[in-house]
Amino acid sequence: MKNLQQVIYALEKNNDLVRIKTEVDPYLQVAAIQRRIFRAKGPAILFEKVKNSPFPMLGNLFGTRQRLNFIFSKTLKTVETLFKLKLSPFEVLKSPTKLSKLPKIFLTTIPKTVSTGPILAQKIKISQLPALVSWPLDGGPYITLPQVYTENPLKPGYFHSNLGMYRVQLKGNNYILNEEVGLHYQIHRGIGVHHKNALDKGEPLWVNIFIGGPPAMTLAAIMPLPEGISELLFAGVLAGHRIKMIKQKENLPISAEADFCLCGYIDGLKPEGPFGDHLGYYSLKHDFPVLKITRVYAKKNAIWPFTTVGRPPQEDTIFGEFIHDLTKDLVPQVFTGVKQIHAVDAAGVHPLLLAVGRESYVPFAAEKIPQEILTQAMSLLGQTQTALSKYLLIVGEENIDVKNIPQFFDYFLSRIDLKRDLHFITRTTMDTLDYTGISLNQGSKLVAAACGSKKRKLGLKQDFLEIKWPAGIFQPMFFAPGIGILGWQKHTLPKDTQDKTLVTLGKILYNIPKIEKFPLLVITDDPLFTAANWENFLWITFTRSDPATDIYGIDEYYKCKHWGAKKAILIDARLKSYHAPPLEEDPETINTIKEIMFKEKLGKYFE
């Protein structure tokens, strides 16, 4: 499909889109409605009347796998063929019908340069755009599905371009209205290379931000392609046709079928944020590049697509699953020996990566210990988006299903040697959105590896109930075999500081019978909430802890700079005073949208 108008027509014909005719405020209301319809696996939503904007808003477009598959139904097999070629050219050669498609595939990767297009229909101001504010503490309205296009100043042109999805703040803080917007890009993003090259040359980095247009452009903007491979070229394959780009006399080309385009250049830094982010917390106000706006275009009958991010699962969860399924067969090619990986969405993606590898370094050994899988772990932390992982748990059993999280933890906890198999990387680069570390973009990582025979029989609920817990612990909860959850006093310490009370607790617990049956004990503010389900457990444990700061041992020790624990580890997953606040909805907004949704006969989607 070449544009959003075609998508809407097709979805409506397929009874997979609803129109909301009541005027809805883009301040909190639109996002709150979208989140509820997404959670209910409902249809795409077209808000026809948007307060203070002439442009309708389209939400939940990618809210189900069925809808994603429908939108790209004509090109998915083509994309799979391309990945098959990367995986093994011989597999493609076995099928002449697939081979015959390859010239066409490669042709669609090359953008088609045109002199004009629908996007140039009108020039508008930023103040006319829908001012989407998703969460109460957001610093202003944001573009949440932008396609940020840049070219390498050292090698201009399509083939060295970058198309990324980096959030854009339209108003608020001290941005000059209609003249500036905030451009927040995190570490390990392709635009960073372009920006550095521009700074080295003493030139501004020109940027075009597309919104809407071919849905393939939106998906391409979030594809984790290797550095140096243009997402724009991949968009053509996914779209099934050459992407039309309007050549400008000055600056960058413009996506001809985009609904909106903001043109400008990066000039200095300004405070950006806060913003309710995909970890389930706000990312706070920090200095990020500011984009000086030169022009804003909109096509006739333009539609503003949007999404809401927040604690998973959200719409970007569907994106992640879709991309994982497309690329899973490439994992062994990118990471030698790695069989499966799972960036756990419930834990916010980057905080927790599970992996299954091959352990074959000493196949004749009587007892397998982690060796090859440690090499694979370093590879995972050294390239692509997996480099942002904070906790990497890797096992050397190829029959484990990495998506089956209870099975994975059971295997992992019963085999890990806590004295030997915990490997910390301290004072290193972290995900920009993770506030558990010692400063912005800085914290620690943990590689925990397990293989070989069982080291322990994991404790069950009856074992847990028989433990006599010391004073200070409240609401001890059994969660899963080998995993317990313990309440502890409120955290009040500054960053980069260990809690001496938990060091002492580790020593006390060492002498308690059966404690060795529970190698993982998690300290939280709210054990009942944490223990309610796997989603809560993963979110609390891995988004509220920094490995080096927040892991304690029962009984911990150091030897030749290696840290280990003799019986179990404690992960301090309490909310710290320096953490960003978790996302909470505005009660008044919920009452208002309830009326709107029932009026529009969408009450079945309201929770």
- Please tell me whether the overall predicted TM-score, pTM, comes out greater than 0.85 for this model: yes
Assess whether 412 and 478 both reside in one domain: no
pLDDT of the residue at 243:
94
Range scoring the smallest mean pLDDT among 161-165, 446-450, 537-541? 161-165
Assess whether 330 and 301 both reside in one domain: no
Q: What is the pLDDT of residues 376-391, one digit of tens each?
A: 999 999 887 888 899 9
Assess whether 301 and 332 both reside in one domain: no
DSSP string, 418-463: TTTSEEEEEEEE--TT--SSSBTTEEEEEEEEE-SS---PPP-HHH
Residues contacting 81, CB < 8 A, separation 6+:
92, 98, 101, 102, 105
- Domain finish residue from 284, 305, 326: 305
Assess whether 341 and 262 both reside in one domain: no
Q: Nearest Cα to 391, choosing from 550, 562, 564, 546?
A: 546
- Domain finish residue from 418, 450, 482: 450
Give a yes or no: residue 102 inside a domain: no
pLDDT at 361 over 80: yes
Taking the CB of residue 245, how many other CB atoms lie within 10 A of it?
23
pLDDT at 210 over 80: yes
Query: pLDDT exceeding 90 applies to what percent of the chain?
Result: 79
- Domain finish residue from 425, 450, 475: 450
Assess whether 189 and 59 both reside in one domain: yes
Give the span between the Cα atoms of 209 and 296, in whole angstroms. 9
Give a yes or no: residue 90 inside a domain: no
pLDDT of the residue at 599:
95
Give a yes or no: residue 150 inside a domain: yes
Specify burial of residue 85 (Cβ count, 10 A radius: 0-12, 13-18, 19+). Answer: middle
**By residue range, what is the domain housing residue 497?**
461-572
Query: What CATH number is attached to the domain comprising 288?
Result: 2.30.110.10
Which alpha helices (DSSP H) does 262-314 contain, by range? none
Give the span between the Cα atoms of 129 and 127, in whole angstroms. 6
pLDDT of the residue at 478:
98
pLDDT at 302 over 80: yes
Assess whether 473 and 420 both reside in one domain: no
Q: Nearest Cα to 211, choosing from 252, 261, 257, 161?
A: 261
pLDDT at 94 over 80: no
Structure tokens at 577: 């005073």
Assess whether 419 and 438 both reside in one domain: yes
Q: Cβ(49)–Cβ(292) under 8 Å?
A: no
Residues contacting 90, CB < 8 A, separation 6+:
none
Assess whether 189 and 237 both reside in one domain: yes
Assess whether 186 and 251 both reside in one domain: yes
Query: What CATH number is attached to the domain comprising 495?
Result: 3.40.1670
Assess whether 18 and 158 both reside in one domain: yes
Q: Nearest Cα to 117, choosing from 272, 299, 242?
A: 299
Assess whether 295 and 322 both reside in one domain: no
pLDDT at 398 over 80: no
- The position carrying tokens 């009026």 is 599
**Identity of the residue numbered 537:** F
Give a yes or no: residue 595 inside a domain: no
Specify burial of residue 405 (Cβ count, 10 A radius: 0-12, 13-18, 19+). Answer: buried
Assess whether 355 and 287 both reside in one domain: no
Checking DSSP bridges between strand 244-246 and strand 112-114, what pairing results, if any? parallel
The half-sphere exposure of 167 on its side-chain side, counting CA atoms within 13 A, is 28
Give the span between the Cα atoms of 61 and 306, in whole angstroms. 8
pLDDT of the residue at 95:
62
Give a yes or no: residue 86 inside a domain: no
pLDDT of the residue at 99:
57
Give a yes or no: residue 599 inside a domain: no
pLDDT at 198 over 90: yes
Total domains in the fold of the chain = 3
Give the span between the Cα atoms of 234 and 554, in whole angstroms. 50
Give a yes or no: residue 582 inside a domain: no
Checking DSSP bridges between strand 352-357 and strand 391-395, what pairing results, if any? parallel
Give a yes or no: residue 96 inside a domain: no
Tell me the three state secondary structure of residue 147. strand
Query: What CATH number is attached to the domain comprising 392?
Result: 3.40.1670.10
